[in-house]
Structure formats: C-alpha cells, structure tokens
Amino acid sequence: MASRMKLARAGSAVVGASVALMLAAGIPAGAEPTSGNVTGDGALGYEVNLGENHRNLTAKLFEFTLEDGTKLQMYCVEINTDVTKNKMVEQPWTEYPSNSSPFNENSAKINWVLHNGFPVKSADVLTEVLTAKGVTLNDGINNEEAITATQAAVWHFSDGVDIDVDDALTGGNTAAEADVVAMYQWLTGADNIGIGDQPTPALQVSPAELEGEAGTRIGPFTVDTNGEIEGVASDLPEGVKLTDVDGVELDASTIKNGSQVYLDVPADAAEGEGSFELTATASVDTGRLFVGENYQEHPTQSLIVATAESSEIVARGAAKWTAGTPTTTPPSETTTTPPVTETTSDTPVPQPKANEDDLAQTGASVFAPILIGVVLVGAGIGAIFFQRHRRRA
C-alpha cells in the first residue's frame, strides 16, 4: 500500500505531489472507510440463553482498535457468525452484508438500544431509569448485567431471537437473571421508538472515484463528516486544482460537512489522474456498523459501535480524465475579386467621339435618314406644285 501522506493542517493550502496514489497499488483511491481490528474480548457479561438454539452465549463488549490506535467498544449484530480479528471496515447500514437479516428493518430499534443501553448509560444511571419506571431490582444494575441485557436486546432486533425469561442465564444466578430480564424487556419494549437517523460518517468522500475530460471540473465529490477538516493533501498534475463548483480553490479551512469538491482540470492538460486526501478529528458515533473486509469470501460477525470516540480519520477522492477535444475555428469565408487581365491587340479599337450634346456616337449618324426624308418630302411638294402649274397654262 502506498505510504502515508504528509498532511497539511487546518488553514493550509492544498499541497502538491507528496501523496502516493492508491490507484497504483490496485486499491480504490476513493473514500477509504474507517477500519480496525478486534484486539480483545473487552468487558464480559454473563452467558445468556436465547431460545432453544442459542444457549450459553457469552455477552461481550468487544474492544476494537482503529488504525490510529483509538479504542472503541462494540456489540455483535450477527449471532450465528464468529468474530474475526482480521481487518473490519466501516459501512453504512444499507451495506449490511445479509439482505435477509432482521437488522435491515430493525436498525433504528438497535440504534435506540445502543443509545439507551450500556455503556452510553452507566449502570448507576440505568438503575435510576428502571427504578423510576417502577421496576424492582436486586441491588441495582451492575456492569455485567447491563452488558448482558444490552447485547441480548441487540441480538433480539438483529437476529430475531428472544431471551428465555425462565432461564435467562447459565449458572442459576436468579438475582442477576431478574435484573437482566427487566432491563432487556425495557430495551425491547414500548419505550423503544427507534432512532432512525443513521449516524453521520466520521469522514467520508463520495463517490470514491470519478472520470471526466480535460477542460472541465470533475465532480462533485461530497464530503460527509461529523468533525472538522484539519488537513488537505493532494497528488495532482501541474495546473489541476481542488475547487468548488465555481472554480474557487479550496483548503482545509473552507471544506466542511456537505461541501462539494471538484478537480478543475485545464483544457490543455494531457490524459491523466490525480487524487486528494482529507483528514479530520471526528467521532466514530454510537451505531456505526463495521463489517469484515472480505465478508463475502469469509463471513465474519459484524459489529456495531457502543460508544462514540474521537479519532483522526482519513478519506480520499480520485479522478481520471482524458485529454480535452481541441476546439478549432472554421476558416472565415472571404470573397475575392478575380484579377482583371489586360488584353493587347495590334488592331486599334476605334473610340466613340462625343457630339456637341455630349451624346455617344454609335454606328451611322441619325441625321442621314432625317435628311433623306426631308428631300423626299420636298420632292413631293415640288411635283404637286409642278402639276398645278401645267393645268393653269
């Protein structure tokens, strides 16, 4: 896996090519889920009996360690699958690995159990809550009873099982049995109206990866977090910038929950790829789901966060782009006047001469027919006059 990036802290500008691309290692370069491992049994409850097919199950509040060393407490949400100490990754509720599991329809009920059970509410607080509701307890609720009742209530909603009220615990501790059953019935009863809103991711960039073309802003990548962005780092070719939708460059001080981030790729950029990384100190909230990294190949018991803890979380976004389509301006249409060719001839061309009235002369003179007409008319008149003269004589 690529080496860790050196992060710019709050208010820093986007830094350059110190970030190793996850793509080169064949790992999706997008938002990398929060991940960790089960590192111990954590706090133990009693062995509980959940119907005929699920006897002597040890209720546990698992210790789970994130990659940065932060320790969380987890309950199981798959009763028939073994817990693994291999890598587990955070997933939204909608990515629960079993489509047929009651978890899918009861996630809000489970979330209510977690927020009202142990350790979100201490054993002393739970004692007060149950006493106020008129429940009779044996010396109050202790940690072991609280763990057992909370885990049994989670299993009730995630796996459709019920506690054996007549034989709740292995070992015959009747006082503890009564307290566990009383708390279990409250957690699964009418007071449980559900907490339907899925906890906000500690830090997530989605989608994981996008594609586009040079000359565009590739995005949006949407940032979801319940913390504050403290660092931004990038591995981007020269000229490519991390911006908002309007092209304004972003840094840690301007990226918040709900921000939409783009990679602004210049039009003259060659085909390429780039990535950015965000870091935040954020809370991994109660109710967040963790699933085995290779669940489909090796099913493992999924876990759900019992108590919120703050941790430094990292998320990434990446993009690939093709070279932009060059824009060419079609040649403008120009009108050309054909050249005038001069012709020469040995024979001189007669030029018309203007008359006194500046009229051009064309062919024979127009006065010739007029003169002939006058002569003929005059001849006719003369002939008539001659004939009359002879008669008189």
What residue segments make up the domains of the chain, in order of their start?
15-33+200-286+311-322, 35-187
Average pLDDT over residues 35-50: 91
pTM across the whole model: 0.67
Q: Which of 191-200, 228-237, 249-258, 329-338 has the lowest mean pLDDT?
A: 329-338
pLDDT(347) > 90: no
46 near 173, Cβ under 8 Å?
Answer: yes
DSSP category for residue 23: G
58 near 49, Cβ under 8 Å?
Answer: no
Region for 363 from its dihedrals, namely left if φ exceeds 0, alpha if ψ lies in -120 to 50, beta otherwise: left
pLDDT(248) > 60: yes
pLDDT score recorded for residue 64:
94
pLDDT score recorded for residue 339:
55
116, containing H or E segment: helix 103-116
Averaged pLDDT score across all residues of the chain: 80
pLDDT score recorded for residue 374:
43
pLDDT(332) > 70: no
Share of the chain above pLDDT 90, in %: 56
Separation CA 246–CA 261 (nearest Å): 10
Structure-token pair, residue 104: 């899918």
180, containing H or E segment: helix 174-187
Average pLDDT over residues 85-96: 88
Q: Which residues fall within 8 angstroms of residue 78, CB to CB, at 6 or more apart?
A: 98, 101, 158, 159, 301, 302
Average pLDDT over residues 311-340: 73
DSSP category for residue 342: P
Share of the chain above pLDDT 70, in %: 74
pLDDT score recorded for residue 326:
65
pLDDT digits (tens, 9 = 90+) for 367-393: 444 444 544 445 454 444 444 444 444
Q: Which of 32-41, 91-100, 199-208, 362-371 has the lowest mean pLDDT?
A: 362-371
Structure-token pair, residue 242: 């991390």
Q: Does domain 15-33+200-286+311-322 have CATH number 2.60.40?
A: yes
pLDDT score recorded for residue 18:
30
Q: Which residues fall within 8 angstroms of residue 86, CB to CB, at 6 or more apart?
A: 37, 292, 293, 294, 298, 300
